[in-house]
A and B are shown apart, each in its own frame.
Chain A
Amino acid sequence: MSFLSRLLVFILLASPAAAATLPERLAGLAAQPERELHYEETRESALLKRPVTYRGRLAWDPDSGHLTKWVDEPRTARLTITPTHLEAATGTGRIRRMPLERRPELAALLGGIRALLAGDAAALEDTFDTDYREDGEGAWLLRLAPRAADLAARLSLLEIRGKGNHVSLIDTLLGGGEHQRMRMVPQDHDAPPTPLDDAP
């Protein structure tokens, strides 16, 4: 779920523009050709003795409708979301596969992301209450609060920050109060291949 929220970066990372309203911003984002970007996120957990920084890539294939999150460091893993299924694989070869409907909150988020990709503000607002603000100097904040109670119980709030058509940060506030932050990093075209490159 938190991963999917981070995929919103696709839509929100883009070239500078002077859009002042949400529909205009979405239209600009939808026109972006970029389909893969790199991220860095720091995880905190009671299981960990110190925060762990994960690095990886997010990939969106509009033709197949697959969204994939690659974890490249410190260990390799992959999570692929197809229009119907969710598949998680780790470097040990363990693969878990389940229908997307088993995670209705993910399905709803995916719907939201599709709406964003299409620049469809109306469809986005079917899933989220949106709050879009700009500070007059190009920096902006988009707050997305799920409308459905089931979804809100697992995902309280998404906050996406950026400047122009660049997204710099996605903050995810989960239902249990846990906070996760994903920072976008400039693309590195010389990234090493991952052992999980057999993803669908």
Chain B
Amino acid sequence: MRPSGGRRLLAWALLLGALLAGGLWRLSMSYDLGLFLPAPRTMEQQVLVERLGESPGSRYVLVAVPDDPERVTRLVASLRGLPDVERVLSDLAPPAGQPPDPLWSHRFLLADMDWRAEGLESVFSARLAELGLGTDATYEAVVARDPALLSLDLLQALAPDTETPWVTGDGRRVLVAVTTAPAFRLEAQARAVNGIRQAVAGVFGTDSDAVLSGAGVFGVTLRDTIRHEATWRSTWASAAIVAVLLLVYRRPAVLVLAALPLAAGLICGLAMVSLVYGQVHGITLAFGFTLLGVAIDYPLHFLSRARVQGAAPALRATWPTLRLSALSTGLAYAALMAGGALGMAQLGLFSAAGVVGAAATTRYVLPWLVRGKDGPALAAPSPSPRLRPWAFMLLAGAGGLLAWQTQETPWWESDLAALSPVPAAQLAREGRLRQATGAPNIRYQVALRGENLQSVLADSTTLHDALDTAVAAGLIERFGDLTPLLPPDTVQERRRQAIPGRTTLEERLRSATNNLPFDATAFTGFVHDAVASHRLPALQPDTYAGTTLEGALGQYLYRNAAGQWTALATLGGDPDVQGLEQLLAVQAPDARLVDLRAASESLVTDYRQRTLAVLGGVLVLIALLLTWRVRPGRAAWTLSLVLASVFLAATVLRAWSGPLDLYHVTGLLLVAGIGLDYALFLGKADRQGAGHAVFACMASTVAAFSVLAGSAIPALHSLGSTVALGSALCFAAAWLGARPRSGAK
């Protein structure tokens, strides 16, 4: 027995409720942008992806304030007190007192020292001279336990360049607050940024023109901007759709009927992603809902026909085409899953499941909510047969001319930075502030990788010597690396063996100070610490856990999910790339100069090629699917119309805004789905109500996406302009290409 309308609705509501509950129960939101990066293949790509949230200085919040040393010093002290700030880098006063552990506790294992009596005497001579320069109590306390000042030298090796004051071209002083949380932990970043703003306001007043910059600041600002932009633009886009639908259908009930499949699609998509992946990225939801926008067309096709013929005949007339359209679109969206990026795979699954859910709701639920027919018979107007060739030639000519005129412009944007939702002006300002602080070059790093930590550390020591040579040869200005923080066990052991026993050391100390005014008994702390170093376990990465130097070590050493160790050296200034590569090839052959920009470009290129290859396969599948319902000739014609529209849209966009980015590509995918839908419905022999529906679909899509196109956020702008333009072109192509007498099988 067929279920009644009421029962059917109840079952549908229960099913959706269960899906929603199940989806939400398993769901956790993720904001890790790394999910949207394709799987890396080369070592350079791996370093890029693995270090995305932890690249040099990604935890830096750069603070540019008026150049007033006294107030800047107060600000530094104030920032050091913040719980979300790990440390503060500045060219001003370093924190007083002895250097932090484990650098202090392990100083005799971290640096070479001449333990002979002559070596000690030379050390004490140098200290005697320095005392004559006028020193303070902190310095003397360090000398008493570390007369060779090994710990201060180690600290200086880690410190950023402070020889040049950190002042920007426009005379601002720059400080760096290093946050405890990585850049992508937005809640913690928001707390840190807020605390820093308050500290700045406390010292410089609320009306100072202080500037905060950095990955975390961008993340927090973007989240707020996107929330704001997305909220009001979505509101306006929705209002535009409502206005168009009211204008076209003149019945408020249509709004509810059109929204139901969309809501069902959303729940289906969410439930599927939640079931398969357990978590959903914020961007998956945002873009997924956009891609799902095509599903609003499904109820419109049915409703336009139903107002003429009533529900049952309308369903019979529209469902085969609607099913074909939904399956083809779902297939195209599902292709995103094969691209190799987890985030894009989520997006594909979400949209494909959503489209299928929306189509199913249109088929199995809507007919029981629509009563009899209530509108006049509508016939889609066909363009004049004489007009059609001219119009096609005009469109093709315009497209060809545009493509020819812009042939210098590359088709695709390969710069990963172009995907950044951060406006270019803010990125440029970030670059200027970084330059003022001498923060590491963010493009080049030197990487070493291996399964065994000790062999990586040994290679790192070789690399350290090679980079010293590079500095001397002027190939790089400076570098930062692992060796001062973590020498190999063998080196630590050699240094340990060199430390004399207590009696010998005391004897040498007496001998060394015999001809000097130093009091040997003032250095008992030194003797004690040196002797205690005999029993210290060798320094390991874990020794740094929880210390203030943990972040410093993490900048130079990490272990990936596969258990491989990677040591990184950061470079300062603009390196002589060719010279450095030649030097490394000879002196540190295991090390690789990593050009992060080249790595990101190759990553994007690989990803695009793979996606295009998959889409090519999908196109063949869709063509086969079409021949299931329509004749091969018409299937080919329909696909040609869609492809021509997509190509024309891509050409116009390239001419308008330059090379296409991944948001454009996502938008073009939606355009293809929409175009297929238009071409199928307008291409039917029996298209009663189809013109009305397709026009309503096109008008609402163009209105809604035009609102998004006005956004200053690159992602929304690219997507909005692509879909608004593309759907208008698809409509024009489908309308011009409609063949009144060719019918469905």
Contact = CB atoms under 8 A, between A and B. Distances in A.
A177 B162 CA distance: 30
B132 A77 contact: yes
A46 B522 contact: yes
B131 interface: yes
Contact of B122 (A45, A92, A97): A92
B240 to A, nearest CB: 56
B128 interface: yes
Given A46-B522, A47-B131, A52-B128, A1 B136 contact: yes
A27 to B, nearest CB: 29
Contacts of B165: 84, 99, 101
Contacts of B143: 47
Nearest to A43: B131
B163 A99 contact: yes
Interface in A78-101: 78-79, 84-85, 88, 90-92, 94, 96-99, 101
B376 interface: no
B91 A75 contact: no
A84 B127 CA distance: 25
A48 interface: yes
Nearest to A74: B128
Contact of A77 (B69, B133, B136, B137): B133
B130 interface: yes
Contacts of A45: 131, 140
Contacts, number: 110
The listed residue with most A CB atoms (<10 A of its CB), out of B129, B144, B165, is: B129
A148 B69 CA distance: 13
A45 B136 CA distance: 10
B133 A102 contact: no
Interface string B51-72: 0000000000000000001101
A78 to B, nearest CB: 8
A71 B70 contact: no
A46 B134 contact: no
Contacts of A52: 128, 131-132, 517
A75 B130 CA distance: 9
B286 interface: no
B70 A104 contact: yes
Given A97-B163, A176-B137, A88 B92 contact: no
The SS class assigned to the A binding surface is mixed
B73 A104 contact: yes
A139 interface: no
Contacts of A85: 163
B368 interface: no
B93 interface: yes
B647 interface: no
Contacts of B70: 104, 148, 150
A132 interface: no
Nearest to B94: A102
B735 to A, nearest CB: 70
B126 interface: yes
B462 interface: no
Contacts of A78: 133
A16 to B, nearest CB: 30
Nearest to A5: B134
Given A47-B519, A77-B132, A178-B137, A91 B125 contact: yes
A150 B129 contact: no
A32 interface: no
Nearest to B127: A47
Contact of A50 (B132, B137, B517): B517
B73 A71 contact: no
Given A84-B165, A102-B92, A104-B73, A94 B126 contact: yes
A14 B202 CA distance: 46
Contacts of B518: 47-49
Nearest to B138: A176
Contacts of B127: 47
Contacts of A76: 129
Contacts of B140: 45-47
A97 B162 CA distance: 9
A38 interface: no
Contacts of A25: none
Contact of A99 (B128, B133, B162): B162
A117 interface: no
Interface in A119-171: 148, 150, 154
B133 A92 contact: no
Interface string B109-140: 00000000000001001111111111011001
A48 B517 contact: yes
A78 B518 CA distance: 21
A174 interface: yes
A88 B125 contact: no
A75 to B, nearest CB: 4
Contacts of B69: 101, 104, 107
A88 B140 CA distance: 16
Contacts of A99: 91-92, 162-165
A8 to B, nearest CB: 14
A49 B517 contact: yes
B267 to A, nearest CB: 60
The listed residue with most A CB atoms (<10 A of its CB), out of B130, B137, B163, B519, is: B130
B168 to A, nearest CB: 15
Contact of B132 (A43, A49, A92, A98): A43
Nearest to A47: B522
Contact of B136 (A43, A71, A91, A176): A176
A194 B391 CA distance: 92
A111 to B, nearest CB: 11
A107 B67 CA distance: 14
Contacts of A90: 126, 129-130
A88 B156 CA distance: 15
Contacts of B125: 75, 91-92
Contacts of A50: 517
Interface string B149-170: 0000000100000111100000
A103 B275 CA distance: 60
B131 A91 contact: no
A101 B175 CA distance: 13
A60 interface: no
A106 to B, nearest CB: 10
Contacts of A77: 129-130, 132-133
A104 B129 contact: no
Given A47-B144, A50-B517, A88 B162 contact: no
A92 B137 CA distance: 23
Interface string A36-59: 000000010111111010101000
B467 to A, nearest CB: 21
Contacts of B130: 77, 88, 90
Nearest to A73: B132
Interface in B645-663: none
A101 B167 CA distance: 12
Contacts of A94: 126
Closest 10 CB pairs of A and B: A75-B129, A77-B129, A49-B519, A71-B132, A54-B132, A2-B134, A3-B134, A90-B129, A101-B69, A92-B126
20 contacts: A3-B133, A43-B131, A45-B140, A46-B140, A47-B131, A47-B522, A47-B523, A48-B131, A56-B132, A69-B134, A75-B129, A85-B163, A88-B133, A98-B162, A99-B92, A101-B69, A101-B92, A103-B93, A104-B73, A104-B93
Interface of A: 1-3, 43, 45-50, 52, 54, 56, 69, 71, 74-79, 84-85, 88, 90-92, 94, 96-99, 101-104, 107, 148, 150, 154, 174, 176, 178, 180
Given A52-B128, A71-B132, 20 more contacts: A1-B134, A1-B136, A45-B131, A46-B144, A46-B522, A47-B127, A48-B519, A48-B522, A71-B133, A74-B132, A77-B129, A79-B133, A79-B134, A90-B130, A91-B125, A103-B93, A148-B70, A150-B70, A150-B73, A176-B137
